[in-house]
Structure 1
Amino acid sequence: MRAFVTVGSTQFDCLVQASLSVAVLTALRGRGYLSLVVQCGKFARAGETDGGLDKWTMEKGGMSIEMWRYKPTLAADYDNADLIISHAGSGTILDVLRLGKPLIVLPNPTLADNHQEELAAALDHLGHLKSTTISNLANCIDSFQPSSLKPFPLQDPKKFSDIIDEEMGFIPIANK
């Protein structure tokens, strides 16, 4: 099984470091994960001063780990993952929930406002994902039950156009 960690387009070094920690790797292995892919963004490896390589691999804690900075799309990584661990960015959350993939999110405490924390808490409360903190990530993985998550509602593009029509004062032809 494969776990995928993404930090998105911002720097979130503590999530990268936590995902490579002995505690988290042990928790993942204990749940049957043998492979970990980490989209690490601007994360600097030890001894780097200029950002270093764009992609590298390693073995640690019995896990095969692939790390890379950025790709044009994360779609293949989402598809190939059995578990996704992510920053709590709204775009990433929606992409993953629409795929029906198990998702653990960690709001980035270094951001200027708490929009990630609010969104994560609300979706956790609704049962669509699990929200946790850096310090609790290993425990969260240990206790995580993907089968307990509620499916995210399917997207209905008509709702958006109906809202716009209503706001603009348009009357649908069928109602004339």
Structure 2
Amino acid sequence: MKFFITVGNTRFDSLFRELDCIAANSEHEFVGQISDGSYIPKNFPSFTFKKDISTQIEEADAVICHAGAGSIFRLLENNKKLIVVFNTDRIDEHQRDIASFVQSESFALTCWELTELESLIVKLANFTPKKYSKDDFHKVDKIIDYLFC
């Protein structure tokens, strides 16, 4: 299985350290977007930022990402198998709510502790996520009329 790992614009060195150890003895392929992280994986290719990561997402069989809402919803809209990793490196814990949501709705597997990650990668092969359906927001015009009338 080919995995793409993305952490958006948030450093998550501990995730890449763990994945580097996993990749050393894995038959899976990994490619990582490490943001401004200081840890550079030795066992798989990585990059800091790209203007567009659509190609990496399309080429991947599955994605491992931080629990950032922007990353998660983009991936769910692309119907990717997904492991969402709660970023314990962050001081704030706003990612906990979104990680809990995707887990409770069966949209993705959720990793709460990095020691669980290898077993979740194995579990993902047999995981069938619930299909995500985006609800478009159609009240923009009404809000603009209300604000400027």
TM (normalized to structure 1)?
Answer: 0.72
Instruction: Look up the match of 2:101.
Output: 122
Instruction: Look up the match of 2:36.
Output: 42
- Is 1:109 the equivalent of 2:109? no
Superposed displacement of residue 45, structure 1: 4.4
Name the CA shift for 1:163/1:42 in 2 (closer, same or farther; >3 Å): closer
**Is the contact between residue 7 and residue 15 of structure 1 (CA under 8 Å) also seen in structure 2?**
no
SS in 1 for 2:45: strand
Name the CA shift for 1:10/1:152 in 2 (closer, same or farther; >3 Å): same
Aligned residue identity for 1:40: I
Pairwise CA RMSD: 2.5
Name the CA shift for 1:156/1:9 in 2 (closer, same or farther; >3 Å): same
Instruction: Look up the match of 1:49.
Output: none
- Is 1:161 the equivalent of 2:138? yes
Superposed displacement of residue 148, structure 1: 2.2
Aligned mate of 2:79, from 95, 100, 113 = 100
Residues paired across the two proteins, number: 146
Name the CA shift for 1:141/1:147 in 2 (closer, same or farther; >3 Å): closer
Matches of 1:143 and 1:9, distance apart in 2: 27
Superposed displacement of residue 9, structure 1: 0.5
TM (normalized to structure 2)?
Answer: 0.84
Name the CA shift for 1:88/1:45 in 2 (closer, same or farther; >3 Å): closer
Off by >6 Å, runs of 4+ in structure 1: none
Instruction: Look up the match of 1:14.
Output: 14
**Is the contact between residue 127 and residue 149 of structure 1 (CA under 8 Å) also seen in structure 2?**
yes
What 5-or-longer segments of structure 1 have no aligned partner? 47-56, 170-176
**Is the contact between residue 103 and residue 129 of structure 1 (CA under 8 Å) also seen in structure 2?**
yes
Instruction: Look up the match of 2:3.
Output: 3
Superposed displacement of residue 3, structure 1: 0.7
Name the CA shift for 1:8/1:94 in 2 (closer, same or farther; >3 Å): same
